[in-house]
Each structure stands twice: as structure tokens, then as C-alpha cells.
Amino acid sequence: MAERWSLMPRATPTNIAEIGSNGKLTVLVVCTELDRLNQSSPIGIFCEMARGAAEDLRKNEYLYSRYQFAWLDGPEVATNIVMGNMEPPNILVFNYTTYEFYLSDDEPQKMTRASIVTWLNQLADAIEKNTAVAQGGWDMFWLLHGFH
């Protein structure tokens, strides 16, 4: 069966809904177009590490069925989701349907390929058990933007 999305497509304001409509949570890797392939920059190193974690997830049916990786060019989309600063390099898990998101307790500079996979595995387990605490959500979005 052909994949709908590549391993880690670029997410934009115009396609994030489509990426998020596959029933999976979207793992958004915040980087920049200019630095994401530059292995001598912190952003490039982080993006390559996240891409490696995405490869690891593809080999794990439990996790692969729950997550789709994507990358963002700059912090704007992520900042709008979390309503706070999300400077690159960074990572978050986003549920487009509910507008909820999850952040790791680890600082991006201290993350490893394995720690990203471990975090996503623990998050999937917590969501399965209804013990995960999501942030944001449509109610918070409307409340903060004054549309109630």
C-alpha cells in the first residue's frame, strides 16, 4: 500500500489540515528551510535526528499507526498552535482535530533520536489510557481569541 505522505513532509498553513486528517497525531518538527539540511547547525542536527526518529517509528506498527512526522519552516505555525514561543529547533505533537498539543519535558538541545521515540511511545501509552494531559484545544483557542 502506498504511503499518503512522505516520511517527513513540509507542513504549511495550507496543508496542515490535510496532514492532520489521517487519524494520526502530527509530530511537528520546527526548523528552517535554510538550516534543516545543514549538518553543522543546531537546527540541521536536530532535524536530522527527528528524521531518524521518524524512520524508527515507521518500523514500529504501534507508533507508526499513531504518528505522522512533518517539518515547519520557521516558528510561526507552531507559535500559533501553542500561543507561545517555539523557536527552532523544537518539536511538538499536534492533534489537528481538537487543536490540542503535547510538549516534551526535555529541552530540544538535550533530545536524542531515542529520547524522541521514547517520548512518543510514552505519550501514545498515556493517550491510550486517558492519562495524557493535552494543552490548548479549540475551547482555549476561541476563549483567547475572543470568539465566544
Dihedral of alpha carbons 30, 120, 57, 125, sign: negative
Residue that wins the pLDDT comparison between 145 and 89: 89
Whether residue 2 has pLDDT greater than 60: no
% of residues, the chain, pLDDT over 70:
89
According to the model, what pLDDT value does residue 147 have? 46
- pLDDT band with cut points at 50, 70 and 90 for residue 31: very high
Give the DSSP letter of residue 125.
Answer: H
Query: Could you tell me the domains of the chain?
Result: 10-145 (3.40.30.10)
According to the model, what pLDDT value does residue 5 have? 61
CA 7 – CA 3 distance, rounded (Å)? 9
What is the gyration radius of the CA atoms in the chain, in angstroms?
15
How much is the mean pLDDT over the chain? 91
Instruction: Give the 3-state secondary structure of residue 72.
Output: strand
Lay out the sheet containing 10-11: strands in order across: 10-11, 67-73, 25-31, 90-95, 100-102, 135-136
